C-alpha cells in the first residue's frame, strides 16, 4: 500500500506465487524435495519452471503442490507471454480455487503475440517515477512501477495510444480494494531509444486514476513485467535517471539474489538478527517496515515503537489504517547501510517480508540495479 501524501498509487495484481515457509531467504538453504523446487522457482533459477511443470504431472505430487504449482505456472506463462499454454495452466489453477481472474485475462490474450522489449535507453526520471513516453498520439509521462503487476492506462490515454480492447477483466486487487476494467493490447510504446510492443494493459476509467482531489494523476503505469522484458533496469544518479536494457550497468560484486515476490519483486534486507525479504516497489513514494522487521533492528531502536495512523491511497480509493512508528531504524541493503528516520511500521502482510522499499530508497543510492537475467540486485552509494 502507498501513503496518500504524494503517493503514486500503483495497481497490484495479486499473484498466488507461494512463499517458502515464512521467508525465502531464511528457508532456502535447508529446503529439500518439493520445497527446494519451489524455492528454485521463487529465486528464478535456471530450469526451475520446466522442472515444476514436469513434477506436477507425476502421480505423487501433493494437493498443496498442485495448488501452488499450477498457480505459479499460470502467472509465469501469463507474464512471459506464453498465453496459449498459460490459459491451460490457469484453468488448472482455477479448478483448484486460485487465479480465476488471471485465467480470464490470459484467455482474452490467448491469440495475441508475446510482448517484446527492444533496444535500450537511459532516460530522465522525475519525482514520482515519471519517465517520458510516446505511445501512438500520447506523448507525456508514464510511471515506472515495480509494484504494479500489470501496466495500467486511463481510458482517455488508451484511446490516444491506440490500445486495442479485448474484453472486460474480472476484479483485480489493488492497494486498497478491487477494481474492474478492460484488458487491451498497447501496440507500441517508445521510451527513449527503447521500444515496447504488444504490451497487455488494464484500462480503467479516468476518474479511478485521479487521486487527492486531482493532485495525483496516474495516466499510464508501466508495470514490473514491462520492465523485466529489457533484462536489466537501473535507477541512476540518486533517482534522476532510469536505464533499461544494456544502458543499465551490470550488478556490482556485492549483488544479492532477488526473488519473485507474490506481488512483485523481492530483495533481502539484513539486520542484527539476520536476513529477511523486502518488496521493492518503485511506485511507492515512502518506504515502511512491517512488524517482521523488528527482530532485525537494534534493541534500542525497536523498543521505541509508538502507535499512529496513516491514510493510504490506491487505484481503489483511500483508506485509513492504524500503524506504529519508529523514530529511527538501521538495516543493510546489498552490503550497504540503509538508515530510516521516522519510519512507519505496518502489520505483517502474510508473505514473510520485513519491509516495502520505495522510491525514497532508490534515490538514496547512486545506482540501484535489478538484473532479471541473473536474478541479482546491487546498490552503489
Query: pLDDT band at residue 19, thresholds of 50, 70 and 90?
Result: very low
Are 92 and 143 in the same domain? no
* DSSP codes, 321-381: EEEEEEEEEEEEETTEEEEEEEEEEEPP-SS-EEEEE-HHHHTTSSEEEEETTTTEEEEE-
Lowest mean per-residue pLDDT among 123-137, 186-200, 208-222, 363-377? 208-222
Q: Between residues 202 and 24, which one has the greater pLDDT?
A: 202
Note whether residue 16 is domain-resident. no
With 0.85 as the threshold, say if the pTM is over it: yes
Tell me how far apart the 2 most distant CA atoms of the chain are, in Å. Answer: 58
Of 75, 109, 143, the position where a domain reaches its end is 109
Is residue 144 located within the same domain as residue 241? yes
Q: Is the pLDDT of residue 213 over 90?
A: no
Sign of CA dihedral 315, 320, 325, 327: positive
**145 and 262 assigned to the same domain:** no
Q: Are residues 268 and 243 in the same domain?
A: no
Residue 1 lies in a domain: no
- Predicted pLDDT at 354: 93
* pLDDT higher than threshold 50 for residue 89: yes
Same domain as 260, residue 325: yes
Q: DSSP labels for 161-177? A: TT-EEEEE---EE-SSS
> How many other C-beta atoms can be found within 10 angstroms of the C-beta atom of residue 179?
21
Both 88 and 171 in one domain: the answer is: no
315 assigned to some structural domain: yes
Residues 122 and 238 grouped into a single domain: yes
- Indicate if 317 and 341 belong to the same structural domain: yes
Q: What is the CATH number of the domain that holds 302?
A: 2.40.70.10
pLDDT of 102 reads 93
Non-local CB neighbours of 178 within 8 Å, separated by 6+ positions: 171, 172, 316
pLDDT number for residue 9: 37
Per-residue model confidence (pLDDT) at position 12 = 42
pLDDT digits over 317-353, tens only? Answer: 566 778 899 999 999 999 999 999 999 999 888 767 8
Is residue 45 one of the residues assigned to a domain?
yes
Q: How far apart are the first and last CA of the chain?
A: 27
116: which strand partners? Answer: 197
Q: In this model, does residue 11 exceed pLDDT 70?
A: no
How high does pLDDT run on average in the chain?
89
In a domain, 62, yes or no: yes
Q: If you average pLDDT over residues 49-64, what whole number do you get? A: 96
5 versus 12: the higher-pLDDT residue is 12
Confirm whether 34 is domain-assigned: yes
Domain count, the chain: 3
Per-residue pLDDT, averaged over 178-197, amounts to 93
Same structural domain, 64 and 48: yes
- What is the per-residue pLDDT for 30? 64
Look at residue 93 and tell me whether its pLDDT is greater than 90: yes
**pLDDT higher than 80, residue 302:** yes
**Among residues 34, 78, 72, which one has the least CA distance to residue 262?**
72
Query: What's residue 10's pLDDT?
Result: 39
Domain endpoint, select from 41, 76, 109: 109
**CA nearest 209: which of 261, 279, 145, 165?**
145
6 belongs to a structural domain = no
Distance CA 115, CA 123 (A): 21
Residue 211 has pLDDT above 90, yes or no: no
Which structural domain, as residue segments, surrounds residue 49? Answer: 24-109
Can you give the pLDDT at residue 319?
A: 65
> What confidence category does residue 253 fall into, taking pLDDT thresholds of 50, 70 and 90?
very high
Same domain as 173, residue 60:
no
Is residue 15 assigned to a domain? no
| Extended strands (E) in 192-246 | 194-204, 210-211, 216-217, 220-222, 232-236, 241-244
pLDDT at 20 over 50: no
Domain identity same for 121 and 141: yes
The pLDDT assigned to 6 comes to: 32
pLDDT above 90 covers a percentage of the chain that reads: 76
Residue where a domain stops, chosen among 247, 280, 301 = 247
Whether residue 93 is found in the same domain as residue 157: no
pLDDT of residue 21: 43
- pLDDT above 70 (res 5): no
Amino acid at each position: 500500500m502507498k501513503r496518500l501524501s504524494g503517493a503514486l498509487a500503483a495497481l497490484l495484481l495479486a499473484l498466488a506465487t507461494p512463499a517458502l515457509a515464512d521467508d525465502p531467504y531464511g528457508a532456502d538453504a535447508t529446503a529439500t524435495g518439493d520445497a527446494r523446487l519451489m524455492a528454485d522457482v521463487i529465486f528464478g533459477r535456471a530450469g526451475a519452471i520446466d522442472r515444476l511443470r514436469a513434477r506436477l504431472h507425476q502421480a505423487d505430487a501433493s494437493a498443496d503442490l498442485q495448488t501452488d504449482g499450477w498457480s505459479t505456472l499460470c502467472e509465469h506463462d501469463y507474464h512471459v507471454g506464453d498465453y496459449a499454454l498459460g490459459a491451460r495452466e490457469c484453468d488448472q489453477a482455477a479448478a483448484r480455487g486460485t487465479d480465476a481472474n488471471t485465467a480470464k485475462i490470459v484467455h482474452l490474450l490467448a491469440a495475441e503475440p508475446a510482448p517484446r522489449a527492444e533496444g535500450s535507453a537511459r532516460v530522465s526520471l522525475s519525482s514520482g517515477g515519471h519517465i517520458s513516453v510516446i505511445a501512438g498520439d500520447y506523448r507525456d509521462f508514464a510511471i515506472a512501477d515495480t509494484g504494479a503487476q500489470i501496466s495500467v492506462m486511463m481510458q482517455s490515454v488508451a484511446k490516444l495510444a491506440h490500445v486495442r480492447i479485448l474484453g472486460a477483466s474480472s476484479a483485480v486487487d489493488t492497494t486498497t480494494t478491487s477494481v474492474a476494467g478492460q484488458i487491451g493490447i498497447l501496440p507500441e510504446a517508445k521510451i527513449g531509444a527503447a521500444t515496447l510492443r504488444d504490451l497487455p494493459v488494464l484500462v480503467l476509467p479516468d476518474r479511478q486514476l485521479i487521486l487527492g482531489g486531482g493532485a495525483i494523476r496516474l495516466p499510464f503505469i508501466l508495470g514490473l513485467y514491462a520492465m523485466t522484458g529489457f533484462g536489466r533496469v537501473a535507477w541512476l544518479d540518486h533517482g534522476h535517471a532510469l536505464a533499461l536494457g544494456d544502458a543499465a550497468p551490470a550488478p556490482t560484486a556485492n549483488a544479492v539474489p532477488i526473488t519473485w515476490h507474490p506481488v512483485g519483486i523481492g530483495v533481502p534486507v539484513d539486520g542484527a538478527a539476520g536476513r529477511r525479504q523486502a518488496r521493492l516497489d518503485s511506485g511507492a513514494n515512502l518506504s515502511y517496515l512491517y512488524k517482521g522487521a523488528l527482530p532485525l533492528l537494534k534493541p534500542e531502536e525497536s523498543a521505541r515503537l509508538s502507535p499512529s495512523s496513516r491514510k493510504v491511497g490506491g487505484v481503489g480509493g483511500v483508506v485509513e489504517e492504524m500503524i506504529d512508528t519508529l523514530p529511527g531504524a538501521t538495516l543493510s541493503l546489498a552490503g550497504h547501510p540503509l538508515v530510516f528516520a521516522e519510519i512507519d511500521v505496518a502489520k505483517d502482510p502474510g508473505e514473510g517480508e520485513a519491509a516495502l522499499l520505495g522510491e525514497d530508497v532508490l534515490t538514496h543510492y547512486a545506482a540501484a540495479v535489478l538484473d532479471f537475467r541473473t536474478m541479482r540486485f546491487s546498490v552503489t552509494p
